[in-house]
Amino acid sequence: MEPFHTPTSIPISYAFTSIPTAASICGSTDCISISPWMDCRIWSRLPQGLIDRIVACLSPPAFFRARAVCKRWYGLIFSNTFLELYLQVSSHRHWFLFFKQKSLKSYIYRNNTSANNGTLRANYEGYLFDPESLKWYRISFPLIPPAFSPASSSGGLICWVSDDAGSKSILLCNPLIGSLIQLPSTLRPRLCPSIGLTITNSSIDLAFAGDDLISPYAVKNLSSESFHVDGGGFYSIWGTIASLPRLCSFESGRMVHVEGRFYCMNYSPFSVLAYDISINQWSKIQAPMRRFLRSPSLVESRGKLLLVAAVEKSKLNVPRSLRLWALQECGNLWVEIERMPQQLYNQFAEVEGGHGFNCVAHGEFVVILIKGSDKALLLDFIGKRWVWIPPCPYINNGGCGGRREDAVDELHGFAYEPRLAIPITALLEQLTLPFNSFTA
């Protein structure tokens, strides 16, 4: 648990909104002693271990507000004993983390840069979304150096990759505690690879796929390289190379991990590429209704690979719709599992206006973001409901739900599980590999 002993000088930059306390509601602290539920004679005698267990179960916003109560609670984030308890009792939260970008191919938006010891530092900003409460929170990334972009997320860590063409530098960041770890750079030079990441409590797998940039005039050499480390002592540092199927076209820039495989969309025509980590082999899977799809996206939800896309059969008497398919265990059969209600799709299509949309999923939630707009829809599989998401209050799109033809701050995001303690970071720092803690 040593990597969680972060110096207190590292900023904990959650911008959580405060909620009224019992004292502020009543206007005085006297009512607390009157209420039998808040009798200090009872609450002051709770065992410290029970209090720690309660604090460990708090949501991230509530936890960071609770740190202001006393010095001991403030220091819990630096306590090995508390973090070990946190790993045992904390619940999994299916949140999302979004970033601003100007377009699909542009770099992630930087708010500003400031001078620091003669160098420039980018101030990155992200937006956390809680799908259960439909609330937004803002978080900053002050330790990320300039010319890096968020590329993937897994196990509570955000993967940042260098923007410049060539061998890619990789950073793993836990924004809650401000930790930052640098992984070895990729061996092959690339421009805009598709990136996949999966992290468990005892292993990490990372894959880069795309063109190798051998020559701007040569035929693209499509290949992938992977990185693996596990608690059993086995590791492979970008030494595993695999060729991709012919006639591949990457545009999404990301991969989805499901049951030991990375998946990504292939364009022109639409299909799905699958990379089996265990045998280091790529294969191609035919997409459902591939001739009638628009804006297809691959997401992982509840251990299944889903394909989300609009369906437009212009020459047939079939209504346009937005559908979700799940890939079956056999690996080549898709089954439709959900369809947007037709009345809602009519509203969605009017707002979307043919500009396209992106999707991201986590647990039982799927978020559909309309390009060029601050509008987004949330699908809750458990509650069987579709709801419009409140616009993020921390970005300005030039009006309430409006669309501008010039620079519109679009959001792109990742499934994110906020975690104070992540065992894999300890593994990375303990291994005798050429890893270094990154200093921005």
Among the listed residues 381, 382, 359, 383, the one whose alpha carbon sits nearest the alpha carbon of residue 370: 359
pLDDT at 136 over 60: yes
Q: Is it the case that residue 347 has pLDDT exceeding 80?
A: yes
Q: Cα 162–168–173 angle (5° rounding)?
A: 55
First-to-last alpha carbon distance for the chain, in angstroms, is 23
Instruction: Please report the pLDDT score of residue 345 as a whole number.
Output: 93
pLDDT for 210:
82
- Could you tell me if 228 and 204 are in contact, meaning their C-beta atoms sit under 8 angstroms apart? yes
Task: Give residue 35's pLDDT band: very low, low, confident or very high (50, 70, 90).
Answer: low
- Write down the pLDDT at residue 268: 72
pLDDT per residue as tens digits for the range 247-280: 677 666 789 999 999 999 888 778 899 999 989 9
Q: What sign does the dihedral 397-102-412-122 (CA atoms) show?
A: negative
Interval 318-347 mean pLDDT: 91
82 by Cβ neighbours in 10 Å (0-12 / 13-18 / 19+) ranks as buried
φ/ψ region of 367 (left if φ > 0, alpha if ψ in -120 to 50, else beta) reads beta
Q: Which domains does the chain have, with CATH numbers?
A: 2-91 (no CATH), 95-416 (2.120.10.80)
Which percentage of the chain shows pLDDT scores above 70? Answer: 77
Mean pLDDT of 178-206: 89
Asked if pLDDT for residue 157 goes beyond 50, the answer is yes
Question: How many whole angstroms separate alpha carbon 430 and alpha carbon 365?
Answer: 35
Please provide the average confidence, as pLDDT, over all residues in the chain.
79
Position 235 scores a pLDDT of 82
The fraction of the chain above a pLDDT of 90, given in percent, is 39
Instruction: List pLDDT tens digits, range 395-436.
Output: 875 443 444 444 556 788 999 999 998 888 777 776 544 444
